[in-house]
Amino acid sequence: MIRRRKIAIWLLVLGTLHAIVICAGFFAPYNPIEQDRKNPYLPPMRLHFVDTQKHFHLRPFVYPFQLRAGTFDQYVEDTAQPRSLHFFVAGAPYRLLGFLPARLHLFGAGSERIYLLGTDAFGRDQFSRLLFGGQVSLLAGLFGAAFTLLIGWFVGTVAGYFGGWRDELLMRIAELFLALPWLYLLFAIRAFLPLTVNPLEAFFLIVAVIAAVGWARPARLVRGIVLSAKERDFVRAARGFGASGFYLLRRHILPETSSVLLTQAAILIPQYVLAEMTLSFLGLGVPEPVPSWGNLLSNLQQYSVLVSYWWMYLPALLMVPFFLGYLGLASALQESPEPYKIERRSLGSLA
Amino acid sequence: MEPVLKVENLVKRYAKRILVGPPQDFLALDGVSFAVSSRSTLAIVGESGSGKSTLASCIACLEAPTSGNIWFEGRNLAHSAESELRKTRPQIQLIFPDPASSLNSGWSILEIVAEPLALQGKLGRKERELLACSLLERVGLSAEIAARPASGLSGGQRQRLAIARALTLDPKILILDEALSSLDCSTQAQIANLLLELQDTLGMTFLFITHDLTMAAHLADEIAVMSAGRIVEHGPTPDVLRNPSHEATRQLLAAVPQLPRSSWPAIQQ
Amino acid sequence: MMRYLLRRLAHALLLILGVSVLAFLFAALAPGNYFDEMRLNPQIAPETLTALRVQYELDRPLPLRYASWVNSVLHGQMGFSFAYNSPVAPLLLVRAKNTLLLTVTATLLAWAIALPLGVWSAERLGLLPDRVISWGTATLLVIPDLALALGLLVLAVRTHRFPTGGMVSLDSQSLSAAGKIRDLAAHMALPVAALVLSSLPLLVRHVRAAVAEVLQAPFLLAAEGHGIPRLTLLFRYALLAAANPLLSLFGFSIGALLSGSLLIEVVMSWPGLGPFLLEAILARDIYVVIGGVLFSTIFLAAGNFLADMLLYWLDPRIRMENTSR
pLDDT tens for residues A9-58?
Answer: 999 999 999 999 988 888 888 888 888 888 888 888 888 888 778 888 77
Q: For chain B, which residues lie within 8 Å of any Cβ of chain A, measuring from their own Cβ? A: 57, 60-62, 86-87, 89-90, 92-94, 96, 98, 101-104, 106, 115-116, 119-120, 162, 165-166, 169
Q: Give the span between the Cα atoms of C202 and C209, in whole angstroms.
A: 11
DSSP codes of every residue in C266-321:
HHTT--SHHHHHHHHHHHT-HHHHHHHHHHHHHHHHHHHHHHHHHHHHH-HHHHHH
Q: Which residue has the higher pLDDT, A219 or A123?
A: A219
- Name the band, by pLDDT with cuts 50, 70 and 90, for residue C41: low
Partner residue opposite A181 with nearest CB, options C153, C255, C278: C255
Distance (Å) from the alpha carbon of C275 to chain A's nearest alpha carbon = 10
Distance CA B144, CA C308 (A): 57
Least confident of A157-161, C165-169, C195-199: C165-169
pLDDT of residue C48: 65
pLDDT class of C325 with cuts at 50, 70, 90: very low
**Nearest CB to A316; choose among C151, C233, C263:** C151
Check B103 against A234: CB less than 8 A apart: yes
Please give the order of strands across the beta sheet that includes B230-236: B92-95, B173-177, B205-210, B41-45, B222-227, B230-236
Chain centre distance of CA B13:
21
- Residues B87-91: contacts with CB within 8 Å, 24+ apart? B87/A242, B88/B61, B89/A239, B89/A240, B89/A241, B89/A242, B89/B60, B89/B61, B89/B62, B90/A240, B90/A241, B90/A242, B90/B116, B90/B120, B90/B169, B90/B171, B91/B169, B91/B171, B91/B172, B91/B173
Which chain C residue's Cα is nearest to A270?
A: C144
Whether the per-residue pLDDT at A278 is higher than 80: the answer is: yes
Cβ within 8 Å of A, C 207-246: 212-213, 215-216, 220-221, 224-225, 230, 233-234
Q: From CA B62, how far away is CA A277, in angstroms rounded?
A: 51
- Element counts in chain A: helices (H) and strands (E): 13, 7
Q: What is the DSSP-derived secondary structure letter of residue A62?
A: E
State the nearest Cα–Cα gap between C178 and chain A, in angstroms. 29
- State residue B269's pLDDT score: 47
Q: Where are the domains of chain B?
A: 5-268
Instruction: Determine, for residues A345 and C220 on separate chains, whether the beta-carbon distance falls below 8 Å.
Output: yes
Whole-complex ipTM: 0.81
With contact defined as beta carbons under 8 Å apart, do A257 and B125 qualify?
no
Question: What's CA A190's distance to the chain center, in Å?
Answer: 20
Residue A296: its pLDDT value, please? 87
Give the per-residue pLDDT at A346.
52
Between chains, do A176 and C22 touch, taking CB under 8 Å as contact? yes
The candidate with the shortest Cα–Cα distance to B228, out of B78, B32, B65, is B32
User: pTM for this one?
Assistant: 0.81
Contacts of C145 (CB under 8 A, 6+ apart): A274, A278, C194, C198, C260, C263, C264
**Count of other CB atoms within 10 angstroms of residue A111:** 6
Q: Which residue has the higher pLDDT, A253 or A67?
A: A253
Q: What is the pLDDT along chain B (269 residues), one digit of tens a residue?
A: 678 888 888 888 887 765 556 677 788 888 888 888 888 899 998 887 788 888 998 888 888 888 888 888 888 888 888 888 888 888 899 999 888 888 887 788 888 888 888 888 888 888 888 888 888 888 888 888 888 888 888 888 888 899 889 888 888 899 999 888 888 888 888 888 888 888 888 888 999 998 888 888 888 888 888 888 888 888 888 888 888 888 878 887 777 776 565 555 555 54
Cα–Cα distance measured from residue B166 to residue B95, given in angstroms and rounded to the nearest whole number: 8
Instruction: Report the residue of chain A nearest B95, measured CA to CA.
Output: A237
How close A259 comes to chain B (CA, Å)?
13
Among the partner-chain residues C259, C266, C282, the one whose CB lies closest to the CB of A184 is C259
pLDDT over 60 (residue A225): yes
Confidence at residue A223, expressed as pLDDT on a 0 to 100 scale: 92
Q: What does the DSSP 8-state code read for residue C177?
A: H
What is the per-residue pLDDT for C323?
65
CA distance B28 to C304: 38
Facing residue for C297 by CB, picked from A180, A191, A327:
A180
Q: Is the pLDDT of residue A347 over 80?
A: no
Identify the top-confidence range among C97-111, C152-166, C173-187, C251-265: C97-111
Whether A1 has a pLDDT exceeding 70, the answer reads no
Instruction: Find the DSSP H helices in A163-257.
Output: 164-179, 182-191, 199-214, 216-230, 233-240, 245-247
- Region C206-213: mean pLDDT is 87
How far does Cα B152 stand from its chain's mean position? 24
CA angle C206, C204, C240 (to 5 degrees): 60
CB contacts of C277 in chain A (<8 Å) are 184, 187
Mean pLDDT of chain A: 83
- Model pLDDT, residue B263: 53
Q: How far apart are CA A284 and CA A206, in angstroms?
A: 9
Specify whether the CB–CB gap between A49 and A137 falls below 8 A. no
Task: Render pLDDT for C259-303 as a digit per residue (tens, 0 to 9).
Answer: 888 889 988 888 888 888 888 887 777 788 888 888 888 888 888
Q: Mind telling me how many Å the CA of A298 is from chain C's nearest CA?
A: 10
Q: E strands along chain B, which residues? A: 5-16, 24-36, 41-45, 67-72, 75-76, 92-95, 173-177, 205-210, 222-227, 230-236
Q: Say which CATH architecture domain B5-268 belongs to.
A: 3-Layer(aba) Sandwich (3.40)
Round to the nearest angstrom and report the end-to-end CA distance of chain A. Answer: 38
Q: At what angle do helices B155-167 and B109-120 cross, to 10 degrees?
A: 20
Task: Say how many Å lie between the first and final Cα of chain B, rounded.
Answer: 27
User: Is the pLDDT at A222 greater than 90, yes or no?
Assistant: yes
**Across the A/B interface, how many CB contacts are shorter than 8 Å?**
52
Beta-carbon contacts below 8 Å between A and C = 157
C chain contacts of residue A348, beta-carbon cutoff 8 Å = 230
The pLDDT of residue A149: 94
**Residue A97 above 80 pLDDT?**
no
Q: How confident is the model at residue A351 (pLDDT cuts 50, 70, 90)?
A: very low
Residues 242-281 of C with CB under 8 A from A: 255-256, 258-260, 262-263, 266-267, 277-278, 280-281
pLDDT value of position C213: 84
pLDDT of residue A322: 92
Q: Is the CB of B60 less than 8 angstroms away from the CB of A240?
A: yes
- pLDDT tens-digit map of C144-161: 888 898 888 888 888 877
Which residues does chain B have within 8 Å of residue A239's beta carbon, measured at their own beta carbons?
Answer: 62, 89
